[in-house]
Structure 1
């Protein structure tokens, strides 16, 4: 059985379909989505609808990202967060034109059901952004950390790879888990269009919201599957504003 981790989609349905076709999804696969399904390209509502239907056929885990929190709030209350609006929310709201009240209710339930993290039976942790507690995810004081934190990735990037996990110098935060898979911070910020590894942390957000690709990783083999660059798939669009 394969476990496939899939990076931040940001409304890029065409990229998602490309990646899933390259993965050649099998009935006994588990697909773990790292969050941020919406905000960016023009098909956010369509991405959510596709994923709702996909989950009826294949085992899927949908982790909640910060953009999903914003969209969930809008679907629930009608409130438009202005930070969200200028960072993809406008395009997401436009994508919901033509979706019925019942469709929106189903999508809201989809967002509400999302976990903030997933720990598999091999002690691999999947979450959107990171965590700060040296005692692990169960001791994290602020749940928002799971979809906003960047310090986990920043710390991993500065680590000396030669330091053993048994060393006193190895951060306690990283010792709790066999591997940690995240999204949230695009690897294109570091000049890379492929998933990046730093010690036992894997970042698979390869900038699909901007000029990069959508990526998926087989967590056992570390095989990588990628879409085309998103601007090539949506040539008449700008994607999400960078921040």
Structure 2
């Protein structure tokens, strides 16, 4: 069985088109959506509806991303609006309100929030039920990662860190240098959240240095000998650059290894 993974779609129907191509190539594959479905491009409502349909049809699993959590927080409490709007939430509200009503409303207005609450009840309920990780075959999918400095990262990493963490997942705890952390699990780890063009460092005990090459954001593999790999698949869609249109990764369920991909910005 093959597993298709995509993360950080950020409201881009172009990414969803790439996904459909890969799903047609692997019609029996299950798809794992790794979070951040909104903010950045103007089709948040359409992206969420596509994901909800695939999950309902049992063709896919979806997990929570930090941008999805910010939308949920906004729907529950308008006091959470400023932080989300600084991360693209204002454009998401404007596009989702327009998709629901055909009207253009100021995203910060009470009327826009009323539309969001009234028209996207099912969407809010869907997001509220999303898990922060998914285990499938030999793989663990999580939006941001685990705190690998913990004695038991799987047990001790908080729900918040699973959708927000960065350095404590990418690098080892002694960060006097940017040295990639080891994978403590006997599972392949697949994450999004951090555009791969922003990740740089070297291996523990090695001299080879991986430089950031932003805006290029291909799939990045970090693997030590005798350890399962970690795959970083955020294709930089939230960067605002038109050439960044996501990565689609295909894995072998039994080995947890990448066997195919569609990378739009290698």
State TM-score, norm by structure 2: 0.73
Structure 1 stretches lacking a partner, 5+ long: 160-169, 230-243
Q: How does 1:215-226 map to 2 (within 5 A)?
A: 215-220=247-252, 221-226=258-263
Larger RCO (alpha carbons 8 Å, 6+ apart): 1
Higher-Rg structure is 2
Following superposition, the deviation at residue 22 of structure 1 comes to 3.6
Report if aligned partners of 2:217, 2:234 keep a CA contact under 8 Å in 1.
no
Report if aligned partners of 2:218, 2:265 keep a CA contact under 8 Å in 1.
no
CA distance in 2, matches of 1:108, 1:27: 29
Structure 2 stretches lacking a partner, 5+ long: 101-114, 199-211, 224-228, 253-257
Following superposition, the deviation at residue 66 of structure 1 comes to 0.6
Report if aligned partners of 1:19, 1:227 keep a CA contact under 8 Å in 2.
no
From the superposition, tell whether residues 103 and 29 of structure 1 become closer, same or farther in structure 2 (CA, over 3 Å): farther
- Is residue 140 of structure 2 the alignment partner of residue 116 of structure 1? no
RMSD: 2.4
CA distance in 2, matches of 1:153, 1:222: 23
Partner of 1:181: 190
Following superposition, the deviation at residue 30 of structure 1 comes to 1.1
Report if aligned partners of 1:16, 1:227 keep a CA contact under 8 Å in 2.
no
Report if aligned partners of 1:28, 1:58 keep a CA contact under 8 Å in 2.
no
Counting matched residue pairs gives 215
Question: Over residues 161-207 of structure 1, what are the superposed CA-to-partner deviations in whole Å (9 max), with x where a residue is unaligned?
Answer: xxxxxxxxx84xx2223210000110122214310011121000010
Partner of 1:74: 74
